[in-house]
Structure 1
Amino acid sequence: MLKKIAYSVSFVSDEDLLFPASELNSHGPSVYGYRSVSDSKADSHELVLKFLKPALVRRIQILAHQYIIPQQIEVWLHYSDHKIPSTPSSQLYDFIGFITLSDNSATNFKSRELQSANVAPRKGTHLKLKLSSAHKNDFNTNNQVSLLAVNVLGQDFNSENYPKIKENADLQLNSVCDDLLFSMYVEESIADTIRELELKKSEAVLNERFEYARKLKLCMSSLRTAGERLGRYALAKRQAIQVEDFIAAKLRKEQMDIYRTAILKHLLVDELLEKNGLQSTNDVSNDIYSSKPMLPPAPSLQEVALGLTSDTLLYTKSSQEDKSSTDGNSSVSTAGGFSVNESLSHHIFMLKHPEIPCSPRLSACRSPVYSSPISSRHSSLRRRNKSAPRNSYEEHDERTIPTLRQECQGAAILDADPSRGRSKLSDRERRQAALSILIFGNELVELIYSRQFQDREEGLIRLRNFLKEQLETDSSSGVNKIARSTTMLLYRSIRDAVYSVFCQSAETIRVFFIDYVPNKISASEVSRSVDKLLPELLARSGDPSPRIHTLAQHTILTIAACSYIQDQHLVAPSLSRPVGSGTHPRLALSRVQMLEQLVLSQGIGSEKQSGLTCRTLTEAGSSGLHHPAEPVRKVAEKILILVYKINPRLVRKQLPPDDDITRRNLLYRQLFSEFDKIDSNKKIETNLSQSSNCESLSPNHCANSVPRWKGSKIVKKSSTKIMNQHNDERFEFDNDGLLIQCPFCDWKGYQSQLDKHFWKSCPFLTKCPQCSQISEIRSLNNHLINECEAKDNFLICKKCNAAVHNQLLELHLLEEFCRDIKPKEERCPLCHDDIQNPQEEGWEKHLSQPNGCPGNAKRRLNK
């Protein structure tokens, strides 16, 4: 299980003083985030996060700004033992990958992008983020880059369990509170309360107090909704403080306090926390938690302002009455005893703040004390001479607005009977859902057809619970009708525009096909359900919102993975249809991506109806090659490569002839190059197989035709030697290019594997921490000074001849390893140990022996 890894920012290349990098140390709705210095000419900006203790990193979440957005973020990880120096000058980072951020022009620079990337299990103590230059837009006038939040998820590092951890294991969150969306958008006090409730829920499950655990789960869900609203209020309060509108900030603070108190009281949070000991009432159901609790409405700023003003005026009135009773002289001269100046100041306040929203449920609609906010505002401003004629402006100004009157009446109806606000079914809808009403009842169908998205969510939850209850019964009567009714309701819910409703629909589809359908529903009814739902899911897979089309793809692949769906071939034929050039890029990309996943998971079949035959996949891939969108062409190319490994002749026949004219096209050139690699590998495998078989024959059968084994290498009589730049004869292979030896170590392999060996396992080579170029370890200092892209930032230490960043030279001089070098010796740039006899076997012993360089990660890997 993943949990949040605590960290602190230990190094930053540059920062804006108003938005320092230390803002990343905490998460919340009111944090400012990090920004680089204004008008910086640097190509990249670096941040180093130091973990409080060593951790195993599994996932990295990054929340970007709405318009101050870097184009790309490189992620580097460093692990340092306590015995090895851990200053920035001595840290060597391993490149994990990079995250690309969109320019956000599609959302008019109003939304924040959250990127979440899973990584292979990697141990580390420091995480470095390298931010590239910013996307250009009219809002980012100072050419800055920004990050609002960085969240690192993983596990505590344990050297004993580290080798046993699989890459795709335990990727679930230990707590919903560890997710970045939760910590950034839920108000801090509510977030702390939810964490306490989560601990209580775990204890309740262990003690088998399931009713108590159910209440805690419902309470946490409702508190999260309220916490997100309080988070928006906190953000508005921060913005008011920035523009020095302290009256609006005070109103926001009062609004948050009132709403927070009301929510905690309504949801009985103090009772559920059991701070005074175990309470038996928590194990018994009550009215509030009979279903998902309905939250009370939040007070508007106008209601808060009226409440504060009434308290002030009542206090003034009582003080003036006390003064009049003492002095015998009353100074109150307006109707109702309120001061003209105070009412006028309130009137001016409302005029100065027209942005204060008017709630449709004003206190005037609920309380007889304030019959109308407008009339109460002007009651103290009426002329003392009541016989004077009133002008038409005052009459019009005090008249009740019809829209407000209707909203207030609707609010009163809802407060009296919440169920009456639910949408009633029309005659057409009732005829359409006749079977569903018969199976599930009128109340559940009304919830799914409601205009309130909360009702639609509740209806889908009830539908899912109904299906789970049916699993416990052995009755097989009416199951096909239940499936047909469920399909009809899900068909309506899939097209819902609200994301939360679509999530509930996707989860209900998963339960329906995975849990309910197997061994219960007839094959014809399963086919009917898939034919009804699959086209709508395919349409949603091309939705502009990434989270919607990703969830739609996942749902389709979940359905396709069911064995009874595979037997009937219900999903793959719809995905393997040729992609037309006029198909929308998002929809076309989703289809070919899902088709690729089906090929990888289910393989290429031979049945014509399966939709995964070589001919069908070749036609689909060929059509994707002609799509105008490049991502579609790339995935189509991968599909053709998968088919080519099985039936190369069919793929070659479907494509243009492989000649010089065709290879002028970049797409076909790359595709045919991949085909050539596959053919070459097959040829190598064939030659090796013939060589192996030849060993069992007599020498007369194979001496003149095929190669023979000699030691661990395949050689021929007329072998060719290729010398490297060091004039090393170890770099040799035969005429067919079968085997080759690394010019630095004793590794042997194929020519196509040499680059991978240099990058991954050669103990004499390393990646430059600045430009990622592969360089010899013994010449790393020379590379940083003379060849690296960042060579302008490095200089040579006159004391130890090491390459040091010019901003870290003072720290470097304080290190213990910064010492004079003896004559005829060299120093390792990784561990700072002295190398004796460097011109002979000193470097080889230091870098390749098991007890050699402790800072060489490749040596430890080979060990």
Structure 2
Amino acid sequence: MFKSEEKYGPRLALTLCSYTSEDDGYRAAALVNQTPTSCGWQSAKHCQYPQELIFHFDGAVTLNCLRILSHERKISSCIDVYIAQSTVEEIEAGVSRSLLAVEFVRLGHVRLDQNTLTNFSARELKTIGIQRQCSFVKLVLRKPHHNTYNLFQQVGLVAITAHGQMNRSISVWKDARCAIPVGEMVDVPLEQMVPLSLEEINTQSSSNTGTGEVMRRIKELDALKTKAISEEDYDLAAALKKEMDTLRDIGSKIAALEKEKDDAVRREDYTRAKEIKTEIQNLQSGPTVYVQAPPPVAKAAVAETQGSPAVQVAPSVPAPAAQGRHDEMKVGGKGYYDIDAAEAKSGTRSGAANTGSTISTDAGGAAWEKKLNNAIMKHCTDDIGPTALTGNSSTEGAGMEKDLGVFATACLWGKKGQLREAAVRGCFSDEGFSALMSHSAGCVDTLLLYFDSKGHGINDPVAGVVFATCEAVQKLANGSLPNSPPLSSIGGALNNLAGDFVLRTGDNNSRIRENVEGVLVTLARSTIGPDKIVSLLLVDPDKQGKKPAGVRTHVSRINLLTTFVDDFGVDPRNNPKALDSNVLMNSVVLPSLRHSNGEVRECAIKLFAKLLILDKRNVQQYFDGIKPAQQSLVEAQIDSFNNEGKKVDGGPDITADVSMISSSKPPPAREREPSPKKAAKRKESIEQPSPKSAPKRKESVEQPSPRSEARKTSASRELESRVFKTCQFCDEYNPSFTEAALDIHYVRSCPMLCPCPLCDQVTEISTLQEHLVSECELKDMVRACPRCHEAVTVEDYDEHVASKSCIDAKKSISVCPLCHAQFRAGAEGWQSHLAKAPGCPNNPRAYDGSGPIGV
């Protein structure tokens, strides 16, 4: 905090979530920076008034005041101030209502000076006292003051800050048009953001050219290359030389464009000048030219909290490591956690028990067991096998050694998630499963019991083990394994697993949800049938535990039932596995329509529409009993099905059935009755088409030519083949990728993944910190720092927090957990840092996906 702001209280994090318009050259994203040269946001040219800006805080706050810095020439004549509060339910759930449903309360307005006395050489800074609790602020800007410098009648805000206290946080903001962190990059207080004079503008424009930026970047890379040569790191030196050559080419292009732009300005061809400016910006915005200063060392970080917080970002090629102890406590890769102290106190080793000797793949001696053990090790990322089981694990695993062998049992019940995953994949590989079945037919029942055990299989905290379990059950349900037992013999065990799968449909990990839902659909479509799964899904998730279920659980539940309605219908005369529409309406649809979350209600509306189409005789009574507004939504959904040309499986064509759907109650006046013109148009589209026109249209849509169909099928197959041969993390495409080869790529070569330094589970580097503090089976050994949001060992936590020398977490910047390089947030930034030359210096895997780097 600056001294000039101390009297207003601490700054509050402020996020711009909606705005009416913006100028192409002065976008709303400019409010992120508060520097001496910032120009901030400006409305579009000749825009309509009033203009609105809506901001939200990170939760419920007590807002002391707003400080608004107006543009020196594009000045709004009046600014109205509105606020809105979050409800108690929203605060408790941590989820805000839709921005469209927020009700703002007007507090008043402020008027801004015309600025003629200063000849438009100063900016007005308004401090507005609020002293209210709120979660949203809306500024309504009226028409601008007229002056000769504001030719396009625009308004502008250079910067805005909010001061107060945070009360309760909210993590989810619905229907936000954008999420721009206002004032995240701060160099100076608002009082020092003065407009430039004409001479300063000319000087700045001549010195701040694109070629100058490129030359500075080349000098930085040249220094790094010299350092790499001195350290005999010739791979890095070669990569840096290649990047320098690319930059020189870009610099030449920018220089030519700068000259062409100057010529266009001299000719007063400003349209062409703007086009050239855009071309230069595109060249400068590429990942190679994105240049920022190196991260501050620990000493500078402490100074920032006391003085001017100059925010800096690391270059795309990581700078030499800083000296701050806590700032350099990197995670994973070559910079593993220093947990010697923790091990000395707890007597444990990260990811494995420290007692007992390592079990060899030759354990047991039988041929089938050796074959199974080798299959398991093929899915393991290192050559270190499991250690002997102790304690409860030894007791639980003892009964399985007869069917699975000593080595496989030690892997399945051991503490290392990586070995558990490898054991599941190995047991259900063609080689491993053949070995098991040649030894004991009861091995499948044993493995299914393991999948259902607490903390293992589908209940395992390690995501990789859950994925492997889902694949194993899919293979059993599809009968794709050699000598796979018939479903009739294992159907009971699979049905017992269904409950655990249903519970994981609300998991925070989207990939787990997708895999679990896929298994449930496969089981329902198999000879096992949907009865058990549907009965589990019909139970209200909110009544299964002490706390209400999450939104994801409700959405997944409705989507699965919708899929089953498509597959099996609701008429038992056509399909004995059909679902009961009355039970669905009473147990799922109607309660979901009353849910507080809009996404849950939307899914319920879609299911309602399908049931009304498929079983109008039974569902019409429920349609008549809901509110007119909900009836309109159901009808709109049916119209949407009609417009998309969809047909609900197991039921009549929507186009032919829409005209039958209407409430038996008369619609309220002025609410549901359309105008005569619209009613006629709606009636024309709903009623049955004429006998002559309908068949022709249907024939032209539903019967494409064989050649066209063949082309579509071929293209579809080619696209599908490419998708299944592309890594979902690093986007590497390899025609030789099979399912097994992709798994090996994930655990050994993908530069976007690394082993967890505590449990050895392979996870995404971008989410490694989140995994360590929330998913890792040894998460009790670390705590999340409130400042940098990184995982810190419990022994170092207090010292780490007290030092305040770590990197301050920001929404717009990502920090690599391996090397602490900083770059723009988002998938592109991670790809550029990890999967492009020269790659992350601490990543044990090569950036090009070629495999582990030799140490």
TM-score (norm 2): 0.34
Considering Cα pairs closer than 8 Å and 6+ residues apart, tell me whether 1 or 2 has the greater RCO: 2
